[in-house]
Amino acid sequence: MLVREFVGGDPTRTCKLIFLDEPLRFGYRVTDGGRLAEHVLTKRADFERAVVEQTAEGFVETEWSLTRRVFSSSDQFWIVALEGNTLRTHFGGIRPGWQESSGQKRDKLYRDRNRAVAAYHRAIASKCDEGYREQYDREVLIPGGPRQPGTKGAR
């Protein structure tokens, strides 16, 4: 499952776009007072078009959405996201009829943002070394990431 979460509008609201790579399922829309709150799409092109439309309307992607990455091995899934100083992981087994809501979730709070970002990158590298593959490759630009080496406070 690919998820993009956006914030924007007047009044400010959250909107989730979800891509389910299951062409035989039907997508759906959830609205709140006539405004889109959640939209599930089953075709990648439709999903990408919806992302462009949200951005064109002035919505911005949340940090959780920008850093959320989904990995899997032959029988396991692992999802990681970063929110402030917290590294959020979600993992479990892939079985017939499994849902992404299954499995275990863990949050680890770090002393500062730089440590959380470093742990995020280390965790991803570790999972890749274990044979996990990213489901939906995407360039991840972490807002407020670590400072460049040599600058004050870089350590």
Q: Would residue 150 count as lying in a domain?
A: no
DSSP H or E stretch at residue 46: helix 44-56
- Asked if residue 153 belongs to a domain, the reply is no
**Total-model pTM:** 0.77
Same domain flag for 68 and 120: yes
Residue 125 lies in a domain: yes
* Claim to verify: residue 130 and residue 73 sit in the same structural domain: yes
Checking if the pLDDT of 45 tops 80, the result is: yes
Helix (H, G, I), strand (E, B) or coil at 129: helix
Q: Can you give the CATH number for the domain in which 107 is found? A: 2.20.140.10
Structure tokens at 55: 């951005």
Is the model's pLDDT at 132 over the cut of 90? Answer: yes
Angle at 67 between CA 63 and CA 68, to 5 degrees: 110
Domain around 106: 64-134
The domain tally of the chain equals 2
pLDDT tens digits, 69-80 = 999 998 899 999
Q: Which two tokens stand for residue 62?
A: 């949340």
What was the pLDDT predicted at 110?
Answer: 96
Structure tokens at 26: 């039907």
Specify if 148 maps to a domain: no
For residue 154, pLDDT beyond 50 = no
> 85 in a domain, yes or no?
yes
Hey, is 113 helix, strand or coil?
A: helix
pLDDT bin (cut points 50, 70, 90) of residue 101 is low
Instruction: Judge if 16 and 56 occupy the same domain.
Output: yes
